[in-house]
Amino acid sequence: MSSPQAAQAEGIPVEIQPIAETRAQLLREEMSVPSGRVVVTGLGAVTPLGLDVASTWAAAVAGRSGAGPITLFDASDFDTRIACEVKDWDAGEYLDRKEIRHTDRVVQFAIGASIQALKDARLDITPDNCLDVGVLVGTGVGGIGTLSEQFKVLAERGPSRVSPFLIPMFISNMTSGQVSMVTGARGPNFTVTSACATSGHAIGEAAAIIRRGDALAMLAGGAEAAIVPIGVAGFTAEKAMSTRNDDPCHASRPFDAKRDGFVMGEGGTMLLLEDLNHALERGARIYAEIAGYSASADAYHFTAPLTEGAVESMRRALHRAHLRPEDVDYVNAHGTSTDIGDKSETAALHKVFGGRAASVPVSSTKSMHGHLLGGAGAIESLMCIMAIQDQVIPPTINYEQPDPECDLDYVPNVARSARVNVALNNTFGFGGHNATLILKRYE
């Protein structure tokens, strides 16, 4: 940690005055009992489909792909040379020049999406309420871009040239830590890491924090920025990524018989969650309710999924939402465009929905925005929320040739107008991590 002298030199207060005998403390004492219900009142997104929620959702409804040749580094020697990158990103819209130099791309995405979500929710964080607003940003690999760059510095220039900002720039918890520093949120603050289930867990755990009364509001979601040489090389070595380099827009094709792996994406998506009573008292707009959440483990294999883990995650989430399978109007699938993953999830959905499985609309928006790894559950929760808002189900694009083992209604290629009051979102991660969220229209 920095010394007091160093902190003063950087312009950082040596001691932050405690918020005591203030209106915040009085509000805590007089605060109404938490409602036990958690609603979504703010949305923010920086994605391969757009730099905000409106553009991201419009692209998804239009069925546009965010994939293209990798431009963030020279991938000419790689088997996989395509990805879903965030285009035209300008961190300067959210951070000053000095802050940008000291923050990894993943943190920048988290900050941008968080500021958007707070603005959308019309919630100002002040000394009066800061202790009751927390932050929970999930990331699968944290600042892997910074880490890989500094490994190169170490190898080529020696240990004395490694940046003093290496550690605070690459450790995963800085996604949440830096969001709190920028926004002033001083409530519960930590980071979840569970591979591709990460931000599903982050949103579910943030809702649990509110339900138990430890916060009135939480910024929750996920971010990832792993389109760097070591990240792409690692997944390519596993044969998990598509090599359809000559046709990137058609490379991510979940549930299609010709799928050959996922397309990596990047970005950040954040939701502002609030206790229902708090949201109503301040007259907030309510997008949807977090009605249910469950997490489970396969306890089976570090990459191959086990159907029963996903089944239990979905069943328990529905139970906790006091809903039945027949109440679900839309499933946003994990649907990565990998052979075994898509088959396993289809089999799990059959077990959960039984004879009704074939009539439940299921789509994988990864076909458009790619696989955001630890950020997947957050952008896909956003898709569920917008489906509830607009009564439109986003499609699974590039679905051309049915796979006999993937035999559900995948909303192929074109968005569909439909009644969506309840949406189920699955996220499953390497290591056997499973998370299911149930989002429903607020009543």
The pLDDT tens digits for 358-369 are 999 999 999 999
Rounded mean pLDDT of 185-214? 97
The reported pTM is 0.91
CA angle 263, 269, 271 (to 5 degrees): 150
> Does pLDDT of 23 surpass 90?
no
Residue 412 pairs in a beta bridge with 396
Is 371 an active-site residue? yes
Q: Note the pLDDT of residue 4.
A: 39
**334 annotated active-site:** yes
What pLDDT, on the 0 to 100 scale, is given for residue 218?
98
Q: For residue 17, is pLDDT > 90?
A: no
pLDDT at 11 over 60: no
For residues 128 and 22, the answer to whether their CB atoms sit within 8 Å is: yes
What share of the chain has pLDDT > 70, as a percent? Answer: 91
Supply the CATH classification number for the domain 293-440: 3.40.47.10
**What was the pLDDT predicted at 37?**
96
Instruction: Please name the residue that has the structure tokens 């918020």.
Output: 19
- Marked catalytic residue, from 196, 278, 384, 406: 196
pLDDT value of residue 16: 47
Marked catalytic residue, from 201, 278, 371, 433: 371
More reliable by pLDDT, 122 or 2: 122
- Asked, colleague to colleague, whether 39-281 and 293-440 share their fold, the answer is yes
Residue 20 confidence (pLDDT) above 50: no
Collect all residues with Cβ–Cβ distance below 8 Å to 289 and sequence separation of at least 6.
37, 38, 39, 40, 276, 439, 440, 441, 442, 443
Sign of the four-CA dihedral 85, 91, 93, 95: positive
Q: What pLDDT score does 299 carry?
A: 78
The residue annotated as part of the active site, out of 334, 369, 384, 433, is 334
Domain spanning 39-281: CATH superfamily: Thiolase/Chalcone synthase (3.40.47.10)
| Residue 8: per-residue pLDDT | 44
Clarify whether 250 is annotated catalytic.
Answer: no
Is pLDDT at 404 greater than 90 in this prediction?
A: yes
Given this model, what pLDDT does residue 221 score? 98
pLDDT at 298: 82
Does the pLDDT value for residue 10 go beyond 60?
A: no
Question: What are the domain boundaries of the chain?
Answer: 39-281, 293-440
pLDDT in tens, 46-58: 999 999 999 999 9
Model confidence at 166: pLDDT above 70: yes
- Choose the weakest-confidence range: 13-22, 90-99, 258-267, 297-306: 13-22
Average pLDDT, the chain: 92
CA distance 12 to 332: 44
